[in-house]
Structure 1
Amino acid sequence: MAAYKARLQEYDALLSQDVIDIKALRRLCFSGIPDEGGRRALCWKLLLNYLPLDTSQWQDTLNKKRAQYRHFVEEMVVEPARLSKNGSGNNHVEDHPLNPNPDSQWGSFFKDNEVLAQIDKDVRRLCPDIMFFQRGTEFPCRQVVDDPEVERLHRRVTHAALASTSLTRKGLGITKLENCGRRSTTTEDYHPLPPGAEAHWEVVERILFIYAKLNPGQSYVQGMNEIIGPMYYTFASDPNIAFRENAEVDCFWCFISLMGEIRDFFIRTLDDSASGIGAMMERLMANLKHHDFQLWNRLRVQELRPQFFSFRWLTLMLSQEFDLPDVIRVWDSLFADANRFTYLIQVCTAMMVLQRDAMLQNDFGANMKLLQHYPPVDVQVVLSKATELVEGGEVSPVDPSQPEPSS
């Protein structure tokens, strides 16, 4: 207990500096951030480069970002909803739903709804192992809930659109992102709350919709909901009421920052590029070969390719492999690592190494099942093994300098 209190004091001392020592913060956060006092939410905002290191600039930054987000809501959610209800705006008197003009706001409205259909489907099933996302937020978006002319995003999605729209990413991997993983369980879709209230999943829906509007080249891709879920949960659970009230805004900007680093994983045309998911999977298997040649060779002989399991691990940053509290703990270390994708490679390698005894005995089918549905494990054991690999403590059972055995 005394050691834990000392650790809390170390965080508080570091976070109270006029200019945050980011290297010291990374070292501290790498071992896990305490839940108490909103420390994790604040540290994530710093580690994701949302808040500047100069604490005197925090309030000005927050004011600007929050005003900018309110503008996005007005422009991309509120105004299109009014257009839909009223038939046309004052400045678009010749516009109508059948207008073939590519500049027609109606054309944009219908195109947006194709994307919104998939977002709506995904967020209604977000983190089904907890009740959080179907509960009401304390701070619904007043721009939306207080305006009788604004049609909520979920009401713009028709059953026909849901039935016909599928934005599932095609490409690497043999399974859909939404259909496998510890936390992807069959569940009844979440329902909207009465007028004047908003569930947390509706807030996430709005964030993802605005992100898709701002990034038309990429738009929304299935799996982004699994990236934003743990982040929003962390911010919306902040005991600091001023931060909790602005969880939607802060989550949006942190999501923007994180996606700036991992967006290439979601773009199929970049799969084979140096920054794409294909290169990441190659790095993972090369790392496994370096640390455990025998296990690597077992997968090679069985032709159990990394696309079959690690595509989801890497793209979704393990958010589907562990329960939410464990995902959040893993992300403490990933966000704290200056080369976080290097550490992600080590964590994924550790997951395989920890199962080596079973995998060396299993046939192809059993190993496929094990890797696609990773067994329950103490996540701290995984992180400790990953750190051991980073430090070079793991010795390869077979010397990689020797010729590879034939299959």
Structure 2
Amino acid sequence: MSCSIKPVYGAQHPPLQVMPKGKEERSKTSNKRDAFQDFENNTSDAWDDGDDDLLVMANIQMSLRDVRSTAQAVMENHSKQLSAQNQQTSSVKDELRKLSWSGIPKPVRATAWKILSGYLPASLDRREPTLQRKRHEYFGFIEQYYDTRHQEIHQDTFRQQHLGLGTILKDIPRMTSLAHLFQQKVVQEIFERILYIWAIRHPASGYVQGINDLVTPFFVVFLSEFIDNDVESENFDLCQLPQETLNIIEADSFWCTSRLLDGIQDNYTFAQPGIQMKVNALKELIKRIDVPLYKHLEEHCVEFLQFSFRWMNNILMREIPLRCTIRLWDTYQAEQNGFADFHLYVCAAFLVRFTQDVLREQDFQGILMFLQNLPTHHWQNEEIGELLAEAYKLKFMFADAPNHLSKKK
């Protein structure tokens, strides 16, 4: 019994046609339109009705110049659309900055901080997908690095960076005055993971004391989204929250802290050059705006580094209550480069505010003890508002005239 192979017809493989040699030669010289139409007619099941544009395109012979010009037009159109979207986003953020400078209401503070920090898009329809993606990404880091932290490869990394979990764990309970909140094991574990992942992803600096403080305001603000307004954060038991909620607070705190640190990372690299420059800039600014105070510190051999290093390293968190820090950060995030640039003017206004108290101290020890233990425990939003107003005046006078801060030759 003889077998014959039958061709399979379809859109990808057109029917085989056996033609006499004469017809075969004529077929080779037939135009492309006829060949394409024959193919279309024999595979009508593979094409939708009304696709005449495809037949037209089959006949178009585009030059390389045409291709390039078409591609360029597409890219330009895409760039215009992207630029329009960016302008709209910038407009929304600029408006939010203006509204946030004088303080953000508690019910909307968490969302505003996420947008101002650059973590959350201003576009409403992009927010939820972004949050889901970034939270998933963070816990991917946890799985990749934290859950395998006892492996030898990560121990070597830590030794190279001069960082260890022991240092992080020692710093966590000392972060703020909210002792009860940070005595909770679940909170300490959250901070441990956040600091661990940040350090391992930033080998240029690793973990440096002071970074731990910068997580606290984000954590407390994002926690407040999920607790009643009449419950103080420092008295809240996090075990009452479901694990999914804790994961949201943790991931959002990590990303917003990372955004903040991206702008001031030179504060924490080797020898902390960013802080050194800011302390020197503060010294020159005080020399300009408060000569008696500057001379008093100089006469008693008080170096600015001895008291203002902590102001720069911890963003004044050790100097004022946490409630005041949160209000201060409303404005810092509303300012362009608030943590890097505007903070200098806040520190200057902060020091000048206590000029008379410092002048009353007549020895090195008295001056330094006072500056390291300033009487701010009673401060509220009113004092922060006054401080920011003075800082803004200093910025207005000096920010656009940096030569005023340079040393005289």
Range into which the TM-score falls when normalised by the shorter chain:
0.5 to 0.7
How many Å apart are 1:134 and its aligned residue?
A: 2.7
Quote the RMSD (CA, aligned, Å): 3.1
TM-score (norm 1): 0.65
Look up the match of 1:65: 134
What is the DSSP-based 3-state SS (H/G/I as helix, E as strand, rest coil) of the residue aligned with 1:65?
A: helix
Flag the structure with larger Rg: 2
What is the DSSP-based 3-state SS (H/G/I as helix, E as strand, rest coil) of the residue aligned with 2:288?
A: helix
Counterparts of 1:365 and 1:253 in 2: how far apart (Å)? 41
* Change in CA separation of 1:74 and 1:300 when aligned onto 2, cut-off 3 Å: same
Kindly report which structure 2 residues correspond to 1:364-375, keeping only aligned pairs within 5 A, or say none. 364-375=364-375
* Equivalent residue in structure 1 for 2:392, among 387, 390, 393: 390
What is the DSSP-based 3-state SS (H/G/I as helix, E as strand, rest coil) of the residue aligned with 2:122?
A: coil
Look up the match of 1:292: 290
* Equivalent residue in structure 2 for 1:40, among 98, 109, 128: 109
Counterparts of 1:106 and 1:394 in 2: how far apart (Å)? 48
Answering whether residue 24 of structure 2 is matched by residue 26 of structure 1, we say no
* Equivalent residue in structure 2 for 1:221, among 208, 224, 232: 208
* Change in CA separation of 1:244 and 1:45 when aligned onto 2, cut-off 3 Å: farther
TM-score (norm 2): 0.65
Identical counterparts, % of pairs: 29
Q: Can you give the 5+ residue segments of structure 1 that lack an aligned partner in the other structure?
A: 1-16, 84-96, 98-103, 136-191, 193-198, 396-400, 402-407
How many Å apart are 1:118 and its aligned residue?
A: 0.7
Kindly report which structure 2 residues correspond to 1:69-80, keeping only aligned pairs within 5 A, or say none. 69-80=138-149
Look up the match of 1:362: 361
Kindly report which structure 2 residues correspond to 1:247-326, keeping only aligned pairs within 5 A, or say none. 247-271=249-273, 276-326=274-324
Q: Can you give the 5+ residue segments of structure 2 that lack an aligned partner in the other structure?
A: 1-87, 228-240, 398-403, 405-409
Counterparts of 1:108 and 1:389 in 2: how far apart (Å)? 41
Kindly report which structure 2 residues correspond to 1:5-404, keeping only aligned pairs within 5 A, or say none. 21-35=92-106, 37=107, 39-80=108-149, 107=156, 115-135=164-184, 192=185, 199-239=186-226, 245-271=247-273, 276-340=274-338, 341-363=340-362, 364-376=364-376, 378-379=379-380, 380-391=382-393
How many Å apart are 1:107 and its aligned residue?
A: 4.7
* Change in CA separation of 1:113 and 1:359 when aligned onto 2, cut-off 3 Å: closer
Deviations 1:9-29, CA, capped at 9 Å, x for gaps: xxxxxxxx9986212211221
Counterparts of 2:201 and 2:296 in 1: how far apart (Å)? 45
How many Å apart are 1:63 and its aligned residue?
A: 1.6
Return the letter of the residue paired with 1:214: R
Return the letter of the residue paired with 1:267: T
Counterparts of 2:337 and 2:314 in 1: how far apart (Å)? 17
Question: Does the CA-based 8 Å contact 2:163-2:207 persist in structure 1?
Answer: no
How many Å apart are 1:202 and its aligned residue?
A: 1.0
Counterparts of 2:193 and 2:335 in 1: how far apart (Å)? 30
How many Å apart are 1:208 and its aligned residue?
A: 0.5
Say how many residue pairs are matched: 293
How many Å apart are 1:303 and its aligned residue?
A: 2.2
Deviations 1:164-200, CA, capped at 9 Å, x for gaps: xxxxxxxxxxxxxxxxxxxxxxxxxxxx4xxxxxx11
What is the DSSP-based 3-state SS (H/G/I as helix, E as strand, rest coil) of the residue aligned with 2:208?
A: coil
